[in-house]
Structure 1
Amino acid sequence: MMNFENLDVWKRSARLSAEIYKATASLKDFGFRDQLTRSGLSVPSNIAEGMSRDSIKEQKRFLDIAISSLSEARTQIYIGIDIGYLPKQQGHEWLVETRELSAMINSLKNKIT
């Protein structure tokens, strides 16, 4: 069992989640804000849960869920930029970060044996 708190991918995804919460706190569209913050929060949460499991199969399953949550967040970020809810610069930075995090999670999955 790996200590998730030492993983850079967990640290970065937790930081991204916090950034999303802060940046969207004043959005009046609760549905959009809630969906984006939940998908962002799901990433570090699933990494933590997966790395706390004893079974390799379960570890990989939770990492797959984290990757799926990143895809969901990325979709919402694209939409948020298009409808003017998110500043373009910040949104694009988050898009880059979600792609990098996905690659990091895939790499972690491949290292688990």
Structure 2
Amino acid sequence: MAIKCFEDIVAWQKAQDLAVVIYKDFKNNFDWDFRSQICRASVSVSNNIAEGFDRGTKPEFKRFLYIALASNSEVRSMLYLALRLNYINEITFKDILLQSEEIAKILNGLIKSLTPRT
């Protein structure tokens, strides 16, 4: 079955879930700059998937998937910092990290599927 809208993309669905978790887990964080950055990065993942899909071409979609992948990496990097700064505990860190790693795998698979075979 062909994907008809970005809402059907599993990576988009999981990225939305990730953003919700990030917003909930950091909503009471007193470090406004940190909270803002990790929230913006988490939202950027699903937004770039959506925007790229609706560009309507494989090269544009692929380009935006790479941007989504980079935003997802930014979230992961910030998670490590959040743990070191004691903004989150080890369990929360591991749970969110697993979500992010799963999204990265799906995005890499999508990118690979859009890459012409030689």
Structure 2 length normalisation: TM-score?
Answer: 0.90
2:62 pairs with 1:60? yes
Q: Could you say which residue in structure 1 is the equivalent of 2:9?
A: 7
Which of 27, 34, 37 is the matching residue for 1:35?
Answer: 37
In the alignment of these two chains, the number of paired residues is: 113
Q: How far is 1:97 from its partner? A: 1.3
Unpaired runs of 5+ in structure 1?
Answer: none
Residues 46, 62 of structure 1: 8 Å contact kept = yes
Q: Could you say which residue in structure 2 is the equivalent of 1:91?
A: 93
Partner AA of 1:109 in structure 2: I
Unpaired runs of 5+ in structure 2?
Answer: none
Report the Cα distance in structure 2 between the residues aligned to 1:68 and 1:34, rounded to whole angstroms.
17
Report the Cα distance in structure 1 between the residues aligned to 2:68 and 2:88, rounded to whole angstroms.
22
Q: How far is 1:2 from its partner? A: 4.1
Report the Cα distance in structure 1 between the residues aligned to 2:85 and 2:47, rounded to whole angstroms.
28
Residues 53, 59 of structure 1: 8 Å contact kept = yes
Identity %: 33
Which of 80, 86, 90 is the matching residue for 2:82?
Answer: 80
- Please give the root-mean-square deviation of Cα atoms over the aligned residues, in Å: 1.3
Residues 43, 70 of structure 1: 8 Å contact kept = yes
